[in-house]
Amino acid sequence: DHAAGCHELAGAYLAERMREAGPEQRMAVVMLMLKACRLGHGPSCDWSRANNAEAQRSAILAQMVDPSLPAEEQLARAVELADSGAYEKARNTVALLMEEQYEEAEWLLGNWFLTGKTGIVPQNERNAVILIENAAKVGHVEAAKWMGMAHWYGRQGVTQDRKVGLNYMKIAARFGDEEATLILRSMLAEPERQRRAERARQMAEAAKQQRSLFSGWLAALSSRSWSSSTRTGISASQRSANASWQRHQTRMDNLYFNQRMDYLTGRSTACNYSNPYC
């Protein structure tokens, strides 16, 4: 609602020459001059009278949202129009806002291209990424988060590049976005997570090998005990005692192995030195 501001924006469009400007820009000039005139700006009133601006007002509003309104209000109305089937009016409004380099318009249109928007645009991932990237580069938080995740995981047709993804997430976090800050923290911790996961995998493999060796040793011991008892004619009670001992050793082996796995997976914080797997 600043008269001089409306007049200057209209002047920026006029500088491109009305004949070379698109229809949305020409309509914007008329509406901006009319608003500046209503706010008491003399030169805008002179231009409006000379160009019969008031007579064009109704026709313009039939084709697009009033471009003299705040950009966020124009965009909100464009979304309502698109959802209600007024496709051309919604498209004209968003096109003008993009001409004015309004990043919210690029973010919106990028999302429409992602899935396709009936009556507005077909689905086109390439166009979607270009628009969302443009919005992200000028500091649009949601667009920066989207680009960060797309590059981190290599999705939506975006090449995986975790360094680029990290940089985009830093842009979003720099604006104080809580979600972006948490995601960034997780991204920065990823190398350490991978190192720990690899260490746990190696330790689990080592424990598996140790268990195999220990089980082989028990089997050999049992075989020697049985062979000895056969040769010496050991009594039934002694054979029963040997069998009990073997069952005990098997239970202890399972117990030791489970203790080791509990330690590796974080369910336990200690592994006794007497445990052969520790």
DSSP secondary structure of 235-264: -HHHHHHHHHHHHHHHHHHHHHHHHHHHHH
Answer whether residue 214 shows pLDDT above 80: no
166 and 122 in a common domain: yes
Which of these three, 100, 115, 150, is where a domain ends?
100
* Closest C-alpha to 76, from 87, 68, 65: 65
134 and 211 in a common domain: no
CA atoms within 13 A on the CB side of 191: 4
Q: Note down the domain range covering 253.
A: 191-264
The pLDDT, as a whole number, for residue 96 is 87
pLDDT one-digit tens code per residue, 84-109: 999 999 998 998 898 888 999 999 99
Verdict on whether the full-model pTM lies above 0.85 = no
Q: Is residue 245 part of a domain?
A: yes
* Closest C-alpha to 68, from 124, 8, 147, 18: 8
Cα–Cα distance list, 221 to 38, 69, 110, 242 (Å): 103, 90, 71, 11
CATH of the domain at 117: 1.25.40
Dihedral angle computed from the Cα positions of residues 124, 126, 127 and 133, in that order, rounded to the nearest 10 degrees: 140
Mean pLDDT of 191-200: 76
160 and 128 in a common domain: yes
94 and 51 in a common domain: yes
74 and 119 in a common domain: no
Q: 1 pLDDT band (50/70/90 cuts)? A: low
Dist CA 165 CA 136 (whole Å): 12
107 and 96 in a common domain: no
Domain count, the chain: 3
pLDDT one-digit tens code per residue, 58-75: 888 888 898 888 899 999
Q: Is residue 278 part of a domain?
A: no
Q: Is residue 271 part of a domain?
A: no
Which of these three, 67, 100, 133, is where a domain ends?
100
